[in-house]
Amino acid sequence: MARRWPVSLYFTVPVQHPELPEPPSTDPPPPDAPPNGRAVLLVSVLMIATCSIFYELLISSISSYFLGSSILQFSLTIGLFMFFMGVGSYLTRFFQQDLLTHFINIEIWLGLVGGSSAMLLYFSYSLTEHYYLVAFALIGTLGALIGLEIPLVTRVVKDYASLKDTLAQVLSFDYVGALVASVLFPLLLLPYLGTLRTAFLVGMLNLAVAWFNAQVFASQVRRAKWQQQLSLGLMALMGVGFAYSLKINTFFEQFIYQDEIVLTQQSAYQRLVLTKWNQDLRLYIDGALQFSTTDEYRYHEPLVHVPLALARARERVLVLGGGDGLAAREILKYRDLGHIDLVDLDPEMTRLAQQNPLFQRVNGRSMLDPRVKIINQDAFKFVEQATERYNLILIDLPDPKGPELGKLYTREFYQLVKKILAKDGVLVTQATSPYFANQAYWCVVRTLRQAFPWVQPYQCYVPSFGQWGFVLAMNQPPLPQPAPPGQDPDDRLARHVWARLGQLLGPQAAQLKYLDEDVLSTLFVFDADTDEPVLPDSLKINTLDAQPLIYYYEQSLKEWQ
């Protein structure tokens, strides 16, 4: 007879157990641990997280300043930092004892290496050819040290609370520190302290964390007295670097710029450097030459006078960029000029152009003229919000070496500009070199053709820059009647421009340093090596969604560097 098993063996009835609280840490804090030890460690987490983001932003900004291509520099720096932080976090598994001692030692190393990082980057760029080698070595060292910090602190804080509470508190303070750094760096540290002083200051913060922890946990740390003394000594060294950072900066920059540096200024947006040799003044923005007084008129006269000659009126003129006041100087030569709105993002640039005697001598005090209204605003936002209509819109912006500038060369931006341009108004933009950056130049031309029915490229030769290009755009052709048979349309346009300049400027037309009838006849002529690529689909249109112009420009820089 088959044996029957109890029902309980065939069916499993689930038993509901009440949720049990997480047991407290099995490793109580040492008996000699200070009562405020947990609070000190959590504040330390906040400080070290802030310093970590500062180092990432510093190296990214300096690399962008020296090498351009901000997207590439920030992506490389952040990606490598994260990788080496992972390496550092993995290495913490080999730290078994004296965690606080190791943590304080790491902070000392971070303060020393991080505080010196900007100076080392300036040294590598100015005096060696191995910038990337030094930058990657710094990123690897700092990233690994930063990766060691948080796991070690977490294991120490775990002695004061449960693992659940420890992780929540440590990560919360870590993320808050990251936010603090991300806000303070662009708004306060970079514009007011610059890169070198910021690096020295952040290094001092790391060293202060090391000193304070060595003092609070002196009974639990080996060689605490030595750590305190070393931290204070290195803080003093960083303080000396902070105090003499301007001289250190000038020393290294003197190797970058051939001429004597007479002015340096770090704004919230860019680094401004003015050099002087004999009577030649040169302005550099983020290391890129903006003008030389020996030949800047060869750039500004074609930029300004060609479109103003084609404009039917000069009652309202909009200048986007041009914060040095040189374009405004040329515009103010017209007797029938009504008003200039000059929009430049950087108030430090326009302040120098208004108040600095060297700039005043070059721009003829144009920025103090009552007809010039200075507006410190992003050009895209200004155009987007503008309600006035302008007879001339002159775009005198730096080359499109990043997305923040590339957006001002897009189809969408030109469509916005078209809305505030008078029906018979003229748009002109500088558009980099058709020789050194041929694809980038003709990309701008083709992008403008997406917004305007009449577009005319032209160029001139500026010794400091080489062949340089501009582009005109209008809602209707300036000469409604087609050119007679046998007459070159470009030559006809050049003759029209010269005749109009004579009417508008009178005797001043003959006083222009560069433009005359013969020069004008060459502006609209492109040689075979600067002319537009033949294949119609060989260049893409620059849009906000995709900015191929930046790629074209960066490729040209690589070729010529």
Q: Which of 292, 255, 287 is nearest to 276 (CA)?
A: 292
pLDDT at 4 over 60: no
CA distance 64 to 288: 12
- Amino acid symbol at 24: P
Winning range, highest mean pLDDT, from 65-74, 197-206, 212-221: 197-206
Distance CA 141, CA 113 (A): 8
For the cut 60, the answer to whether the pLDDT of residue 23 exceeds it is no
pLDDT of residue 359: 95
pLDDT value of position 486: 65
Q: Residue 327: which of 379, 263, 387, 374 has the closest Cα?
A: 374
Residues with Cβ < 8 Å from 236, sequence gap 6 or more? none
DSSP 25: P
DSSP structural state of residue 510: G
| Per-residue pLDDT tens over the stretch 34-90 | 777 888 888 999 999 999 999 999 999 999 888 877 788 899 999 999 999 999 999
- The number of beta carbons lying within 10 Å of the beta carbon of residue 7 is 7
pLDDT at 483: 66
Contact 328, 350 (CB under 8 A): no
pLDDT tens-digit readout, 85-139: 999 999 999 998 889 999 999 999 999 999 999 999 999 998 888 999 999 999 9
- Residues 381-408: b if buried by 16+ CB within 10 A, e if exposed: ebbeebeeebbbbbbbbbbbbbeebbbb
Closest by Cα among 70, 304, 291, 44 to 174 = 44
- How many angstroms separate the CA atoms of 519 and 527, rounded? 15
pLDDT of 459 > 80? The answer is: yes
Most confident of 184-198, 228-242, 258-272: 228-242
d(CA 193, CA 187): 11
Say which residue the tokens 């341009």 belong to.
421
Kind of pairing, strands 390-396 and 466-474?
unpaired
pLDDT over threshold 90, residue 165: no
Q: Does 30 score more than 70 pLDDT?
A: no
Distance between CA atoms of residues 489 and 492, nearest Å? 5
Give the model's confidence band at 468: pLDDT under 50 very low, under 70 low, under 90 confident, else very high: very high
Q: Does 9 have pLDDT greater than 60? A: no
> Catalytic amino acids?
396
Q: In a 3-state reduction of DSSP, which class is residue 461? A: strand
- For residues 352 and 391, the answer to whether their CB atoms sit within 8 Å is no
pLDDT at 14: 47
CATH architecture of 293-560: 3-Layer(aba) Sandwich (3.40)
pLDDT at 201: 96
State the span(s) of the chain assigned CATH 3.40.50.150: 293-560
Judge whether 316 and 338 are in contact, CB under 8 Å: yes
The predicted pLDDT at position 13 comes to: 44
Q: Which fold has domain 37-252?
A: Growth Hormone; Chain: A; (1.20.1250)
pLDDT tens digit sequence for 477-487: 998 777 677 67
Residues of the chain with CATH 1.20.1250: 37-252
Token digits of residue 165: 């509470």
Tell me the per-residue pLDDT of 347-373, one tens digit each, with 9 for 90 and over: 999 999 999 999 999 999 999 999 999
Residue 6 pLDDT > 60, yes or no? no
Q: What is the DSSP string of 309-348?
A: HH-S--SEEEEEE-TTSHHHHHHTT-TT--EEEEE-S-HH
- In the predicted model, is pLDDT for residue 15 greater than 70? no
- Residues 396-426 pLDDT 10s: 999 998 888 999 999 999 999 999 999 999 9
Q: Is 290 within 8 Å of 324 (Cβ atoms)?
A: yes
- The mean pLDDT value for 297-326 works out to 96
Half-sphere exposure of 466 (CA within 13 A, CB side): 9
Sign (positive/negative) of CA torsion 42, 48, 50, 56? negative
